[in-house]
Amino acid sequence: MPKVNHKSLLLFTGFIWFIASIILIGRAYSWISIMTDNQLFISLILALLFSVIKIHFIFRKLTLKNILRIQSFDQKFVSLWKFHILKDKILILLMILLGTLLRHTPFIPKYTLFPIYLGIGIAMFYVWLLYLKTFLKQKN
pTM of the predicted protein model: 0.90
Q: Hey, what amino acid is at 28?
A: A
- Rounded CA gap, 140 and 135, in Å? 10
Per residue in 26-72, pLDDT (tens digit) is 999 999 999 999 999 999 999 999 999 999 999 999 999 999 998 89
DSSP letter at 77?
E
Q: What is the mean pLDDT of the chain?
A: 92
Percent pLDDT > 70 in the chain is: 99
User: Interhelix angle for 6-30 vs 110-137, to 10°?
Assistant: 160
